[in-house]
Structure 1
Amino acid sequence: MPNQVHSESQLTTTEAGTDPPRVLVLDGDGPAALRVVRSLGRRGVPVTVGGTSRMGLGMVSRYADDRYVYPDPASDYRRFVDHLREYLSANDVFAVIPVSDASSLVCSQHKAELAETGTKVAVEDPETFEKAYDKGALFELAADLDVPTPETRQRDDYADVVDLADGMSLPAVVKYRSKTVLDGGKAHTDLIDDVNYVETEAALISTYQVLVGRNSHLKGHEPIVQEYVPGETTAAVVLADEGEVLAQFQERRVRTYPASGGNSAVLESMRDEKMHRYAERVVEALEWTGPAMVEFMRTDDGEYHLIEVNGRYWGSVPFAVACGVDFPWLHYRQLLGETPEHDGEYRTGEQMQRLFYEDVKWLGEQISQRRFGAFGAFGRALATHEHSVSAWDDPVPAAGAVMQSAALTAQRLFDRRGTRLADADDPSSTTNTT
């Protein structure tokens, strides 16, 4: 597998005669947090890795010199905030860096409270964060920009869905305003799947009503309805300072899981000046500071339509670093009060396999559909592409990911076998027919 260690990563701030201050990286179970840990740890920055378990990928990295286990914010985000505040008060931590969707939202909403400990909270203030996080607010903002967007409609009361659907461009997507909603002490996460796509006004109305009706946390946070734009998913990922883009990297999705459209499984680096300009306009309008992903759909005519903004580290951050834009290091320098710069150069045409867990799941999906030729595509990527987890100088996380993947696969097989056995024992089962 390609070696992702670069010579520039050996530079440390100790060369200036001072010890670099410690950071706490949250969400240590995923590849994005692992990449942040490695980028900073390789440069001599002391890193504490936080997570809900000591078995996360970042937790077992050689570059984690301390670990912190906290309550799951999805189960009780208030308890998570209290626990984190007490930890920051008792420990010398320069900055806390949330990585996941849920922790970024919670840390933004409670930023002032956490900052009272003297620790920098590396996420935008609630007002700015919400402008990107709430898709309704984002597309209201984007309507005044010279950036193409899908037709987007929204209502404050889901009872108005009939009016909302009237004359809507179809097919359409019933989109949650945000991936995570804080309600009743819990962080509720909603993911878009095939159910959210509709082709008729009647389907739009019924889907909207069912989704809101069965999810009480969506009332008062009603979904938007957006025109479906076919094409290829692309993204410009940035580090910005009050709306000025300091560094940018672009990528496109070669394949996804699920294959019909979802998270990236294989990515390719690219460069397009039009997407660059559009991303800069969006970031400037948001007055954004910190890392963010600006996602577009590229249509067959080469146009880019704004789809969403993720105001946090993105899952494929290891790819940007491997291609030459070390966002975690640039972000760290920004937190120190510097104005980091990047020359804009990075390798294009490179590909990365997100082996754990998206491409493994893609392969499983293909096999379940008896598309056995997928083994070849999967194997070629395994042998030739960059990878999001593996690193020669830090092998334990990859070994842990293999064991986690095997455990998840075994659990899925066990669950399926249990379902089949239950159906066989149940004379009323629709699968037990003669």
Structure 2
Amino acid sequence: MKANTASRLRLYPDSVQAERLVSWTHTCRAVRNVALAERVWAYRSARRVTVRAVDQCVELTEARREHEWLRDLPAQCAQRVLRQLDTAYDNFWNPAHPAGFPRFKRKRGRQGVAFPGQAVRIRKVSRRMAQVWLPKLGWVRLRLARPIEGVVRNAAVSQDGLGWHIAFGVHQPEPVEPLVNTGPPVGVDLGIACSVFLSSEESERQRPDIFSPGEKKRLRGLEQRKARQIVYAKRHSRGRYSKRLRRTIAQIATMKARQSRRRADWNHKLTADLANNHGLIAIENLCVSNMARSAKGTIEHPGRQVLQKAGLNRSIYDQGWFEIRRQLGYKAKRSGGTLVVVPAPGTSQTCAECGVRDPDSRRGCGRLFACVHCGHTDHADRNAAINIRDRALSTAGRAGPTVSGHGRS
């Protein structure tokens, strides 16, 4: 049984447990980096050897006898790191997967510890609180924001600027009779000036500002303070970070984590509403990485309006278009609907009434669409959303229905 759904909850370890978890995260990072370095060296050698987790688990057992810091980490957690490295290699060699070559983990990057489902137990303490049993840690408190229904197959503990979290991979049995969503079809146009415009609505759904003016001012002040402290450390401390600098970095991480959580909350509410109320959801096949590519160019051919393009790229990433598409992929399937991805070219220049594509109908970057052939006028994003819906219905998703969010049929 593989995990087909996940649940991420807040974890509240005590000071001793938190200190040990931090040590384990660094140990997992060291195991991954050493294992990846060994695989790269073995493949680049004269024999072109491919090393897998089965071979490295034997070496891991020998290393645990010699190093106490490695022996403190549960053996199953270290073995899962090696298996995750196998998965990363398999994704890299799979031409249908967008993953790149596995990278070495940085000390200040995102860290975590993975546990197998057999080693994890959960018991409910009250209506909103529960405890989870982790090997060598004992019972750890967690907030039961939602019930965990199904069989826990794995668990991963991670830390961000707001504290510790645990994500459970849960297997839920498929329903005997597949669900069928009979809701009306809808086209979804994603943008920046208008966050989301649906073909079935007359007004846009604009995401509110994530940060208030006071929070933006505080974040800007913290980033300026961090820059000054880094300059001072390079001039007087040979680049070593002081406690004040680390405290400033932690405060920035807290605000960034809060920003990410608010963005994810809005996206989840949007995608859940679309998946529950519509049987067919049509979106554009947007390649976000290409759209947000830098315009700085090269030394021989420098780019133009680099700062303006950088600001546009930040706005694109801030909207989370790919995350919306990924969430719609699995939520539509769970609700009995279908997500259809249609080609993007021409949706904002084609008239939804007469079907004629003319760039003159959409002059500038305004919000008005005025067809120069039939005289039809409408909001530009609503006109594009209707075109997206009609393309999905007429071509039956020529670009392919997707259930994973990666554009694979």
* TM-score, reference length from structure 2: 0.24
Instruction: Pick the structure with greater CA Rg.
Output: 2
